[in-house]
Structure 1
């Protein structure tokens, strides 16, 4: 399993909105099952919302637990 995280800005100022995108790719020959991702926001970053997109039965981001 490979997990990639990208951000839409290389630098942000206080008050800027930044967008993080996480994508997972199964690199193995078998189906990946029971995969969970936890990604806590960096200090000083506040959760605003997500696009609500749940792909292949995944969950949208839970800003309280950092999971999705």
Structure 2
């Protein structure tokens, strides 16, 4: 099985599992953080699956961590 496909299924599972809890919080900031991170993860996974250069899953985490330190 393709790892990107497995990761996409996992991300969809997380979306369906966590959306009710995020909506119960009534916090726009938490929802924006969750959905923003989720969307970025899906985009990067799809880009890796399409073999676009310089985009690999979770490369953005290193970039964000460099900005924070």
TM-score (norm 1): 0.26
Question: Which one has a larger percent helix, Structure 1 or Structure 2?
Answer: 2
Structure ranking higher on relative contact order (CA contacts 8 Å, 6+ apart):
2
User: Which structure shows the higher strand fraction?
Assistant: 1
TM-score of the pair, normalised by structure 2: 0.25
